[in-house]
Structure 1
Amino acid sequence: MRLAALLLALAGPAAAQTCGGPFPAFLDGLVQEATTKGHDSATTRAFLATANQDQSVLAADRRQGIFQRPFLDFSRAVISAGRLQNGARQYERHRATFDRIEQDFGVSPGVLLAFWALETDYGAVQGDFNTLDALVTLAHDCRRPELFRPQIFAALELYERGDFDPATTTGAWAGEIGMVQMLPEDILENGRDGDGDGKVSLKTSPQDALLSGAAMLRSLGWRAGEPWLQEVTVPDTLDWSLTGTDTRLPIADWQAMGVAARTGPLTDGLDASLLLPQGRNGPAFLAYPNFDVFFEWNQSFTYVTTAAYMATRLMGAPVYDAGNPDPGLSPDQMEELQRRLQARGRDVGDVDGILGAKTRNAVQEVQQELGLPADAWPTPDLLNRL
């Protein structure tokens, strides 16, 4: 359910079909494309010799209902006291590595600890899907071949280096490998030997995994030493149409409107967006520019906001003020809302029952049209009005 790189270049044209069709012909097309990229055909065939389609990968790809849960439910479910305590222990255990990361990359320990926790429970659950099978299955499937096909050739390059065994390398259903779940292309570009043994071992070395994750965050645009998310209080008189990830204003402007940090000071000199994961009556956060980098790791608003919030908790922030949000919609109601928004000409992306960025934007627009508080939180009342 998690994809480590979301802005991959499209694969070049293959000699055979780029997705779908008979699977043996698809593999032949991979060999032909690899040859045009300079790989030895015999080596490529050896690499692909054990490749099989895995229907359980497709089932996992279609089954991502966890993201239908609202922020409060999701964050409470995954940010347990045990995970926070384990995070504190891991920080002390690997303090030298975290200090090195802060010095070299400017990434806070809390950010990497949060990803480490949410991706693999600090390395305990890294996934048991065969990585090559996962990649060829998802590349053959025509839903997102442009994302997964390049990863096959990246895995081939790792294989040529002796760093990937197609028969035994395992990880998540979407092809990510290791403690912080990185795709092969990201390992090629950002893999780091953190423990000094001459290898990049993301499955067994916390030092390698953490340093590689930090390198990837920097490559995705992380701004050294800057914050990413901060809980705030907001006045009832706020113009709610200014909230959401699409609007970014200087901190001074937010302060002038009555937005204040719940603890500590706001960071002057930066722009930020005001996030209301469950509307104006729920928790509120200012999202600084580094928050955007979380979306390069994963595209789910709920997951990203939870990861960013957990990172602040791991660095000492208090539990959020949950407030008293208005009731939300069930997955079935959310799908019906998406259909009704589509009927009004709004782009909601897929009708999947998930409150993603496009659906939030559409909700906010129709709230403004109907004269409702435009906080992008869909309620039964909104659904009835539509």
Structure 2
Amino acid sequence: MLLRDVFRPLKRLSLAAALALPALSLPALASAQCGGSFSSFVNGVAAEARQMGYDQNTVANFLSGVRQDGAVLKADRAQGVFQMDFTSFARRLISNNRLQTGLSKARQHEAIFAKMQRDYGIPPGVLLAFWAFETDYGAFQGDFNTLNALVTLAHDCRRPELFRPQIFAALKLYTMGDFNPRTTTGAWAGEIGMVQMLPQDILDNGVDGDGDGHVRLKTSPADALLSGAKMLRHMGWQAGQPWLQEVRVPAEMDWSKAGLQTRLSPAEWQRMGVQPRSGAWQANLPASLILPQGRKGPAFVGYPNFNVYFEWNQSFTYVLTAAYFANRLGGAPVFDAGNPEPGLNGGQMKSLQKKLRSRGHDVGKIDGILGAGTRTAVRAEQQRLGFPADGWPTAALLGNL
């Protein structure tokens, strides 16, 4: 099974991607047509494509045979794995075999990784980690028909502003000879290739790394890795800067300072008792203290490049695990799991989210997942109740609410 089909919330539609679609203004994207009968929806897509300037035969051939895929909708609604805590999630994804395979891939494609770092400033471990998590180094790239997936999700009305523009990006790739609507397959959300890129990402950041005149993300490691690196650079990655460093925290401090909302210098963290687990601070850059399982669990600081990870994937747990695995591929030791207080199960987390919402907090969807909104709300309620405000929900907090 494709790792990304299980472990994936959706990527954002970047502003650049939106602006790259000439026939759709941003307001139009926000209110893109969806729903109704599937055939009428497809006819609407075809009409819009013709308005963009594509000829009737091209549009007809592109959309011929497109169908609604119920398996895509089922996958879109099954994201329960993100209810796992960071330690469990990281141990599930990062096996010794996956680590050793990554190191082997680094040696096998040494020239590609050298070019990637030289041209885009992306260290090998960063792309190796994404390559591992997205498709197990290209072994499992997904068997969903990409066009069916994109049209199904655009029609579904949950996120038309993301998926409808991707249909036209795929149409553009089709006219370039880099997309076959009948045979191109990938993840359930329309992402293609070894590092799983949406059609608009391919248009914006695709690199012909092997010089064959095409961007083949499914079969060419050079194309896939360099395209992924260019996309990260486009998202804001700063060359030569670190992304994540493991630290130790004191027994007591102002825990409300933890979380991505606060960025302090290493000197400021050090004055509060935060220290690198080993060695020195990696950079004199603003950093956030990350306590994925509270003050008694693992502890890291995230530098500015860490925030770029959220442009690739919106799950806090996925992002932290990918950033940590990049460190491991670069030689870092296994993190100290500490002795965190037991967290909440899925049902308890949903109950907590309902209580937080009733108190006026914006926790997003009641899904049992400890996302950024829920963490912020938890920290606020911990402060109100006099608990250590480390953003980690416990049974004691739930009981007191």
The TM tier, using the shorter chain, reads: over 0.9
State yes or no: 1:320 paired with 2:335.
yes
Q: What is aligned with 2:269?
A: 254
State yes or no: 1:3 paired with 2:18.
no
Q: What is aligned with 1:33?
A: 48
SS in 2 for 1:85: helix
Q: What is aligned with 2:240?
A: 225
SS in 2 for 1:271: coil
Distance across 1 between alignment mates of 2:283 and 2:232: 23
Q: What is aligned with 1:385?
A: 400
Distance across 2 between alignment mates of 1:17 and 1:236: 51
Residue type of the alignment partner of 1:309: Y
2:360 to 325, 332, 345: 345
1:297 to 297, 312, 317: 312
SS in 2 for 1:306: helix
Any stretches of 5+ residues in structure 1 without a counterpart?
A: none
SS in 1 for 2:287: strand
Distance across 1 between alignment mates of 2:9 and 2:269: 33
**Cα-to-partner distance string for 1:124-170 (whole Å, 9 max, x where unaligned):** 01000000000000000011110111100000000011110000000
State yes or no: 1:82 paired with 2:93.
no
Report the alpha carbon displacement of residue 264 of structure 1 after superposing the two structures with TM: 2.3
Residue type of the alignment partner of 2:382: Q
SS in 2 for 1:147: helix
Cα contact 1:178–1:202 (8 A) shared by 2: yes
State yes or no: 1:177 paired with 2:184.
no
Distance across 1 between alignment mates of 2:115 and 2:258: 36
Report the alpha carbon displacement of residue 263 of structure 1 after superposing the two structures with TM: 1.9
Residue type of the alignment partner of 2:350: E
Distance across 2 between alignment mates of 1:104 and 1:360: 37
SS in 1 for 2:245: strand
- Runs of 4+ that moved beyond 3 A: 2-6, 10-14
Residue type of the alignment partner of 1:278: Q
Cα contact 1:17–1:29 (8 A) shared by 2: no
Report the alpha carbon displacement of residue 256 of structure 1 after superposing the two structures with TM: 1.6
Count residues in correspondence.
385
> Cα distance 1:210–1:131, how it changes in 2: closer, same or farther (>3 A)?
same
> Cα distance 1:2–1:182, how it changes in 2: closer, same or farther (>3 A)?
farther
> Cα distance 1:3–1:17, how it changes in 2: closer, same or farther (>3 A)?
closer
**Cα-to-partner distance string for 1:337-384 (whole Å, 9 max, x where unaligned):** 000001111110000000000000000000000000000000011000
2:282 to 261, 267, 275: 267
> Cα distance 1:88–1:118, how it changes in 2: closer, same or farther (>3 A)?
same
Distance across 1 between alignment mates of 2:216 and 2:283: 40
Any stretches of 5+ residues in structure 2 without a counterpart?
A: 1-7
Q: What is aligned with 2:70?
A: 55
SS in 2 for 1:249: coil
Distance across 2 between alignment mates of 1:251 and 1:40: 58
Report the alpha carbon displacement of residue 285 of structure 1 after superposing the two structures with TM: 0.4
Q: What is aligned with 2:5?
A: none
**Cα-to-partner distance string for 1:320-352 (whole Å, 9 max, x where unaligned):** 000000000000000000000011111100000
Distance across 1 between alignment mates of 2:134 and 2:164: 23
Q: What is aligned with 1:95?
A: 110
SS in 2 for 1:192: coil
Cα contact 2:187–2:196 (8 A) shared by 1: yes
SS in 1 for 2:309: helix
1:362 to 373, 377, 400: 377
What TM-score do the two structures reach when normalised by structure 2?
0.94
Residue type of the alignment partner of 1:75: A
Distance across 1 between alignment mates of 2:170 and 2:50: 15
State yes or no: 1:133 paired with 2:140.
no
Cα contact 1:245–1:274 (8 A) shared by 2: yes
What TM-score do the two structures reach when normalised by structure 1?
0.97
Cα contact 2:232–2:308 (8 A) shared by 1: yes
**Cα-to-partner distance string for 1:222-266 (whole Å, 9 max, x where unaligned):** 001110001001111221000001111112211221211112211
Q: What is aligned with 1:106?
A: 121
Report the alpha carbon displacement of residue 4 of structure 1 after superposing the two structures with TM: 4.4
Residue type of the alignment partner of 1:156: L
Q: What is aligned with 1:167?
A: 182
Report the alpha carbon displacement of residue 41 of structure 1 after superposing the two structures with TM: 2.9
Q: What is aligned with 2:131?
A: 116
For the aligned residue pairs, the C-alpha RMSD in angstroms reads: 1.4
Distance across 1 between alignment mates of 2:190 and 2:255: 39
Cα contact 1:273–1:286 (8 A) shared by 2: yes
Cα contact 2:242–2:283 (8 A) shared by 1: no
Report the alpha carbon displacement of residue 289 of structure 1 after superposing the two structures with TM: 0.4
Distance across 1 between alignment mates of 2:307 and 2:207: 23
Q: What is aligned with 1:286?
A: 301
